[in-house]
Amino acid sequence: MSEQLPRHIVTSYENELQRLDALLAEMGGRAEQQLQQATRAVLDRDDALARETVAQDQVLDALEHEVESLIIRLLALRHPMAIDLRHTLAALKAANALERVGDYAKNMAKRALVLNSVPTISATASVGRLSDLARKQLAGAIEAFTRRDTALAAEVWRRDAELDDMHAGVTQEIFAFVAKDASLIEACTSLQFIAKNLERVGDLATNIAEMVQFDATGTLVDPGRPRGGEAH
């Protein structure tokens, strides 16, 4: 913003940028919480927690709408330039990614309700470990975005292949259970959907990490990110 603008306009603009960062921080915290709750609903076979997680998704949806409305206002009335424009666009992409994390957590919770109604299988523990890594990736991406830490963002980006490899291994483990006992197909199908949702959370974390790079430099990361084993 130009230094020739009235001080109250500059202050209002800065307040709106701070509000944008605060909304993203809240979205990040809620997305992490939803993912953790969805995981616990699966591992603990907790129907009440699963239903609570499903219901909470509307809060993330509302926050994303608020972020989008604020960004539209910023672009239309404030005409941010250079660094501020990059940050505003990166924030929009990050908010979209965090809302999608909430959707995947909701999907996991819905699958937990199905999974909890059938006998458990040992592969559930492997899905728990997959969730640990996906949540680590998400937390790292959110921290990198909040701190504008390109080094941490690069670490998250590189670690995506590890999550892909783990997802491929979990998928093979689940398929092995079905091959041994077809009666487990309902449980295995739900568990596979949960694992896939976690793999996609990892992709979204990587997308957020890429926005940190864009925010800092104005350049997009080469889309040829490191990939691990595929089981899609």
pLDDT, one tens digit per residue, over 90-123 is 999 999 999 999 999 999 999 999 999 888 888 9
Answer yes or no: is 201 within a domain: yes
Domain range enclosing 25: 7-217
Average pLDDT over residues 189-197: 96
With 70 as the cut, is the pLDDT of residue 227 above it? no
Closest listed residue to residue 84, CA positions, set 95, 97, 71: 71
pLDDT tier for residue 56 given thresholds of 50, 70 and 90:
very high
Q: What are the distances in angstroms from CA 183 to CA 31, 44, 125, 192?
A: 34, 22, 19, 15
Answer yes or no: is 165 within a domain: yes
Answer yes or no: is 1 within a domain: no
Number of compact structural domains in the chain: 1
Answer yes or no: is 224 within a domain: no
Higher pLDDT, 77 or 202: 202
Question: Could you give the 3-state DSSP secondary structure of residue 40?
Answer: helix
Answer yes or no: is 226 within a domain: no
> Is residue 6 classed exposed, middle or buried when 0-12, 13-18 and 19+ CB atoms within 10 A define those classes?
exposed
Q: Give the whole-angstrom CA distance, residue 185 versus residue 111.
A: 14
106 close to 35: Cβ distance less than 8 angstroms: no
pLDDT tier for residue 41 given thresholds of 50, 70 and 90:
very high
In this prediction, residue 14 carries a pLDDT of 87
Residue 147's CATH number? 1.20.58.220
Tell me the HSE value of 138 on the side-chain side, using a 13 A CA sphere.
32
For CA atoms 76, 81, 82, 83, give the dihedral sign.
negative
And the tokens for 88?
A: 């505003």
Answer yes or no: is 90 within a domain: yes
Whole-number CA gyration radius for the chain: 20
With 70 as the cut, is the pLDDT of residue 194 above it? yes
Answer yes or no: is 48 within a domain: yes
Q: Per mean pLDDT, which of 177-181, 183-187, 210-214 is the most reliable?
A: 210-214
Answer yes or no: is 232 within a domain: no
Q: Give the whole-angstrom CA distance, residue 120 versus residue 109.
A: 16
